[in-house]
Amino acid sequence: MNVVAITLIGVVGTGLISAFFVVIRMIFGLITNLSDQLGGLRTVVHDGFREHGERLARIEAKLDIDPPVEAA
């Protein structure tokens, strides 16, 4: 009877450890995926700000504004 109990405990323990590693791998996969998505979002936001800055520079050039002098 002890052999059956020990075997059952070993099988259940191994299954729990395997499930733990599967969950950890899934979490790391989700973190990697989220990191990739945020990297893409960062690029989109950076490009948007760059385009906005270029547009603002063109407007300032047309209005003949010197921002550092005007800001002081």
Distance CA 31, CA 15 (A): 24
Selection from 42, 33, 25 nearest residue 17 by Cα: 25
Q: pLDDT (tens digit, 9 = 90+) per residue, 11-54?
A: 999 999 999 999 999 999 999 999 888 888 888 888 888 888 88
Average pLDDT over residues 42-71: 80
Contact 53, 60 (CB under 8 A): no
What is the rounded distance in angstroms from the CA atom of residue 26 to the CA atom of residue 29?
A: 5
